[in-house]
Structure 1
Amino acid sequence: MIRNQKLMERIREIFEEHKHRYGYRRITAQLKREGYAVNHKRVKRLMTKMYLYAISIRRRFKYSSYQGTVGKIKPNLIKRKFKSIMPDRQWYSDVTEFHLNGEKLYLSPIMDGCTQEIISYRLSRRPDLKQVMDMLEDAYKKHPA
Structure 2
Amino acid sequence: MIQAIYKEHEGCYGYRRIRDELINHGHHVNHKKVQRLMKVLGLKCLVRMKKYRSYKGTIGKIASNLLERNSHAERPNEK
TM-score norm. by structure 2 comes to 0.71
The CA deviation string for residues 61-119 of structure 1, in whole angstroms up to 9 with x for no partner, is 6x4325xxxxxxxxxxxxxxxxxxxxxxxxxxx951xxxxxxxxxx343223448xxxx
Match of 1:111 among 50, 58, 65: 65
Displacement after TM superposition at 1:59 (Å): 1.9
Secondary structure, counterpart of 1:110 in structure 2: coil
Is 1:59 paired with 2:50? yes
Q: Quick one: percent identity of the two aligned structures?
A: 32
Greater relative contact order: 1 or 2 (C-alpha under 8 angstroms, separation 6 or more)? Answer: 2
Structure 2 segments unaligned to the other structure (5+ residues): 70-79
Question: 1:60 Cα deviation (Å)?
Answer: 7.6
Give the number of the structure whose residues are more often strand, by fraction. Answer: 1
Aligned 8 A contact 1:95 1:109 in 2: no
1:12 maps to what in 2?
3
* Paired residue secondary structure (2:63): strand
Partner of 1:78 in structure 2? none
Partner of 1:33: 24
Q: Unmatched 5+ residue regions in structure 1?
A: 1-9, 67-93, 97-106, 116-145
How many residue pairs align between the two structures? Answer: 68
RMSD over aligned CA atoms reads 2.4
Whose Rg is larger? 1
Task: Provide the rounded CA distance (Å) in 2 between the counterparts of 1:33 and 1:49.
Answer: 23
